[in-house]
Structure 1
Amino acid sequence: MKRLSKGLISIIIATLLMGVVALPDSVKSKLPGDPVSNWVKDQKITLGLDLQGGTQLDYRIDLRSATERNKDEDDSNDIRISDVIEGVRATIERRVNGLGVSEPQIYTSNIAGEEHIIVELAGIKDIEEAKDIVGKTIQLEFKEPKTEADPDELVEIEAEANEVLQEALTGESDFKEIGKRIETSDKKIQYIEGTQEFESELPLHYLSIIPDLNAGQVYSKTVEGGGEYILGEGGSISEKQTIRIVQLENVETQEKTEVEEGEIQASHILIAYEGAERSSATRTKEEAKELVQGLMEEILTSEEVDFAQLAKDHSDCSSAASGGDLGLFGRGKMTKEFEDAAYALEVGEISDIVETEFGFHIIKLTDKKEDIETVTEEKYYTYNEIVFDTTPDPWKPTGLDGSHFKYASVTYNQIGAPQVNIEFDSAGADLFEEITGRLTGQRLAIFVGGQLISAPNVNEKISGGNAVITGNYNLQEALQLSNDLNTGAIDAPIILSGQYTISATLGDSALRVSLFAGVIGLIVLALFMILYYRLLGIFAVIALVIYAVIIIFVLKTTPVVMTLAGIAGIILSIGMAVDANILIFERTKEELNEGKNFIAAVQTGFERAWTSIRDSNVSSLITCVILWFFGNSIIRGFALMLGLGILVSMFTAITVTRSFIQTLTGTKASKSTLLLGTKKMRSLNR
């Protein structure tokens, strides 16, 4: 009896302690500010996407490269598409885990014959950061110089563009769907949506095309585009060559407001030096700087400054004779540095020292005209484009890519600058040795995510399976690149094709309805147990309360995420807990009706009920394990909560209920047929 009392006291104390953590947040907020109380306040239930809202990201997997590898005559480089898809899913899962999102849901889906990765993020705060991390394409590629132009390259691009155009003209597929489907992560094919421009601001290649289209119409030909420039290797700038397919989405007439900055009038003091533009001065730049600083100090320290006289005395400009007055001028008349400084002044103000190619200036604004605002009505176009980049690629693939990547680490070169060391697998090591031997004296370009990172000269054949990525990295950038390669090297490019926001209001509504249904169910269940099993039913209800406290405690102190499916699993486990109590009570009542004493009846009742309870719960737990390993994220949530609920319910139904029942031993209640709900017993407690 003493041992049982200690056990019951332990259960009560543990329940009270867990109950403090399980209290509603509104109650816990009133706790004091000591470390323990702060820890208790921090324990909250983490809600899933369906309850607290969040974002769903839909990424299309670009499998064209993998498909083309399987089409060539070389069977040795064939890869299983299913392995590529699973590799992409695993990579995205690693990236999402790094965001700290609780129980993200990541699964593959086939949509219109294309493979997609669906990522569901509950309660994410910075969705743009999440998109940058989840959707980045960290593909490692090694390329060699293209020694001669490929005459078929442009022909193939034009053929693909015309094929896409014909599909768009038929109207069988939505223009946006086509664009999203064929878009590539390396930006060789881009879908650009919702560009908005006034008619006078349209690009030259669209100026005679878009105004003739109707809303929703696709232009019947491909358009050669230009006007964009790309920065090449060594700082060279070249025009980007493109083929475009355009669709007019909408046209309307809007007011166009143009503001032309008013002219200003300024005076200045110019201190020139030998070598400055149009300068006949003989002083050095250092002497000129010292002189202008002296003049500036004189201006700042004098109560009254005669700027015109200073200009006459010191300025090297022809305007010195008129006190430095330059007259009225507008934007584009002076050097940019001079204009920016002058336009930033208010009338009467004097600038700091301004340096231009003519020397050092001190500027005083003497007049400022009003800005001229012009309002006209003009057509305003919204259009969508599919853009094919036809700019010749100076590099071609070597066959060495991320599929042979093994590990990346940060090392330091001979002068202590950080660099990223790449280790290949055995096949990659052999291929790298062959490539460096073939390209000795030439350059080998390293691309990460479609971007050229470095293109070092190959001095000799390199064996050992290691390559080094060098660049103007600081340590943090090198560590980031290394981490991206290790955790983010992806088997195939992915393109964001959809982003959907799930409102938290819907989750709140679903949660309220679920909780209301659960509370009503528990009340009805408690009333039934008390009315039918009386005192034993009260013990069962107390056990259910302890069950609820334990479940809430576990949910608040672990990373487990609560979803609607999880709530269903918990509710189902409550029913199983009640089933266990009913089995125990019925077996115990049978023993009491047979005339056994209370202690013996309770002992036998629990023993006879245990085998049925065990078999039922074990079979349910096996089902939970199967659902966990073979189900998707929603089914896993249900299986996890059901399994957790079963384990807790077994503890409360067997240990807790038994501890409470055994407190009746030797009391009048143990002999009362009214309180125990038994028939008139032949002999009690004999």
Structure 2
Amino acid sequence: MNIKKQLVFVLMLIALCGLYILPWKNFGVNTDFLNKPYTLGLDLQGGVELDYKIDFSEVKTSSGSHYNEMTIVESLKRIIDKRVNSLGLAEPNIQTMKYGSETHLIVQIPTKDYKDLGPEEKKKQQEEDIKNAKATIGKVVQLEFKELKTEFTEADKKEREQIAQNLQKDLQTDGFDATKQKYTTQYENIFASSGTGTLPKEIQFPEFANIQEFPYISPVSEAVIDSLQTVDEAGNPVIKTSTGLAIVQLDARLGSGSYDYKYFIVDPKPTQWQVAKTKDGKILSDAYLNNASVYITPVGEAEVLLNFNEAGKQIFGEISSRLIGKQLAIYVGGEMLTAPVVQDAILNGQATINGQKNVVEAQNLVNDINTGIVPAPIYLTSERTIDAKIGDNALSKILIAGFIGLAGILLFLVFFYRIGGLIAGAALIVYTLFLVTIVKMTGVVLTLASVAGVILSIGMAIDANILIFERVREALKDKKPLDSAIKVGFNQSWTAIWDSHVTSLTSAFILFLVGVSLIKGFGLMLGIGIIVSLFTAMWVSRVFLLFIGKKMKKQTLLFIGYKK
């Protein structure tokens, strides 16, 4: 391909990139491909960072040592990604963190810009998005089939006492909100509340008056949760009481008998429902579920249809055969949705959940089930809202500093290398155009760290141009004509440029591979910038220099600042 054809190709590529990054929506063009938005990170757009603790206790109990923690974590990441995307929010950034023996998922969700809304409406809508995201991400969608318990044993009572002890330990390590979410969704008949002022009568323990250090978490204590005055067989008045197991957290004493408090009450009686099992102990659960779908009955009511695989079909058939004439309850996410009486054995592997008010409610339940019945529960332990104002200010200063630095570099290049320096400056503009096109097309998340990576790659592009120009000058000293000197300059500088770029690209790859979120963004944009700068320096600049060099063969001083 001769130099003219190469120049035409470069100019066409520049034109296409320039057209692609134009704000076509302002011109009435509403094509999704052309109007793809730039994805900004939390530090530039604002958003929320949510810290979720993964609870492996149930998995350990059911699977023993035969479970793969990494598989569960990756499955949870995919589920969270699906749930956030279903809300129409920006792509979340999800990473795994280890705190001692605990495994956490850090979920960063940029908020939508809502440029068409006023400040107050924008803030309100963004807060609503974050609220919906938290509710959706942390939803524990577990599918269970339960039957009525026929008796309550001493073992049931001991199990509830153990639950209360575990709750008290988790309250000390995970805090009230995460513990509340875990125990009120995972178990029934557990009450949680908080407030300020005088303690509720069921948790007014005398020893609290002697507490001096706060926050204070009480041991598991017996509390009277209900009392009823009645008469015995002889007609004498008696008071019957029911008790519960209380765990109290006192955050501060506000005055005499007044506190900032939180507490749990664990009812010693478990739920009246127990998990339905086959004779050999198999449980019908979401593990056997193929899919869920919305079914409209002939009378226009919306129901949710559950389809089980062959193994689930066998289990369901045996359980339903045993419970003919009895209730079989269906629980989703710890909530009983329906408890019909089994009329006949169900052998087709299908179960129906009715009671939804409308098609939308039924579809929401189907989405909850199909987008991920979580392999292990997750509980929100902390959240951090990030204001974009700090990022906006930092970005504006970075851009101003970048423009000043770029202008200084261009002046340096033009002063020392004349027309050649001007061409190098044009190649930098082309580099920026290509980079913006890649960012828009691929949806790469832009953060302050990634912008720093871009600036570093610009410096490497300038370094490559200086190496090329110096090699061209050396070739001119050897009495070579200008077009030959340009070719020699590119050929002789290639080894040094290649070595420096490959070394930097390797570093960028390592940073992206092992770094945390911000470092990954820096490494990714540095790597992209290095590849693009290598292309513009060794090909775009080469085409421009050779084309213009042919027109200025005898004007080496003006072209590259060297006088023969």
Q: TM-score, structure 1 length as denominator? A: 0.66
Report if the CA contact (8 A) 1:185-1:495 is conserved.
no
Matches within 5 A, 1:188-337: 188=188, 192=192, 194-197=194-197, 199=198, 202-207=199-204, 209=206, 212=209, 214=211, 216=214, 217-219=216-218, 222-226=221-225, 242-252=244-254
Per mean C-alpha deviation after superposition, the further-off stretch among 441-450 and 382-391 is 382-391
**1:134 aligned to 2:12?**
no
* Other structure's SS at 1:46 match: coil
Structure 1 residue 596 displacement after superposition: 2.7
**1:161 aligned to 2:164?**
yes
2: distance between equivalents of 1:486 and 1:509?
42
Structure 2 CA distance for partners of 1:109 and 1:8, relative to 1, 3 Å = closer
Q: 2:101 matched to which residue of 1?
A: 113
Structure 1 residue 13 displacement after superposition: 4.8
**1:94 aligned to 2:93?**
no
Structure 1 residue 572 displacement after superposition: 2.8
Deviations 1:63-99 (A, max 9, x none): 221121234xxx9xx4334333332222112112223
Structure 2 CA distance for partners of 1:94 and 1:39, relative to 1, 3 Å = closer
Report if the CA contact (8 A) 1:49-1:122 is conserved.
yes
Deviations 1:224-276 (A, max 9, x none): 25369xxxxxxxxxx997421123333436xxxxxxxxxxxxxxxxxxxxxxx
Q: 2:280 matched to which residue of 1?
A: none
Q: 1:491 matched to which residue of 2?
A: 375
2: distance between equivalents of 1:448 and 1:134?
16
2: distance between equivalents of 1:460 and 1:620?
70
**AA partner of residue 581 (structure 1):** N
Structure 2 CA distance for partners of 1:407 and 1:504, relative to 1, 3 Å = same
Structure 2 CA distance for partners of 1:241 and 1:506, relative to 1, 3 Å = farther
**1:546 aligned to 2:430?**
yes
Identity %: 37
Unmatched tracts of structure 1, length 5 or more: 22-27, 229-238, 254-377, 681-686
Alignment RMSD, CA only? 3.9
1:411 to 289, 292, 295: 295
**1:61 aligned to 2:54?**
yes
Structure 1 residue 12 displacement after superposition: 6.5
Unmatched tracts of structure 2, length 5 or more: 113-125, 228-240, 278-282
1: distance between equivalents of 2:103 and 2:180?
13
**AA partner of residue 456 (structure 1):** P
Report if the CA contact (8 A) 2:222-2:243 is conserved.
no
2: distance between equivalents of 1:88 and 1:110?
15
* Other structure's SS at 2:548 match: coil
Q: 1:536 matched to which residue of 2?
A: 420
2: distance between equivalents of 1:58 and 1:607?
52
Matches within 5 A, 1:563-574: 563-574=447-458
* Other structure's SS at 2:98 match: strand
1: distance between equivalents of 2:242 and 2:291?
35
Structure 1 residue 48 displacement after superposition: 0.5
Deviations 1:170-209 (A, max 9, x none): xx86975995697453354868464124x4xx53323564
Per mean C-alpha deviation after superposition, the further-off stretch among 6-15 and 425-434 is 6-15
Structure 1 residue 430 displacement after superposition: 3.4
**AA partner of residue 212 (structure 1):** A
**1:381 aligned to 2:259?**
yes
Report if the CA contact (8 A) 1:443-1:458 is conserved.
yes
1: distance between equivalents of 2:45 and 2:58?
39
**AA partner of residue 435 (structure 1):** I
2: distance between equivalents of 1:11 and 1:80?
48
Deviations 1:604-657 (A, max 9, x none): 443454566567656766766666566554444234323332343234223432
Structure 1 residue 18 displacement after superposition: 6.3
Structure 2 CA distance for partners of 1:625 and 1:640, relative to 1, 3 Å = same
1: distance between equivalents of 2:80 and 2:21?
38
Q: 2:233 matched to which residue of 1?
A: none
* Other structure's SS at 2:250 match: strand
Matches within 5 A, 1:556-567: 556=440, 559-567=443-451
Structure 2 CA distance for partners of 1:530 and 1:551, relative to 1, 3 Å = same
Structure 2 CA distance for partners of 1:183 and 1:526, relative to 1, 3 Å = farther
Structure 2 CA distance for partners of 1:596 and 1:35, relative to 1, 3 Å = same
2: distance between equivalents of 1:602 and 1:637?
36
Structure 1 residue 490 displacement after superposition: 1.0
1:394 to 272, 275, 278: 272
* Other structure's SS at 1:497 match: strand
1: distance between equivalents of 2:34 and 2:11?
26
Report if the CA contact (8 A) 2:44-2:392 is conserved.
yes
1:84 to 72, 91, 111: 72
Deviations 1:477-500 (A, max 9, x none): 221111111103111222222122
* Other structure's SS at 1:518 match: helix
**AA partner of residue 274 (structure 2):** K
Q: TM-score, structure 2 length as denominator? A: 0.79
**AA partner of residue 250 (structure 1):** A
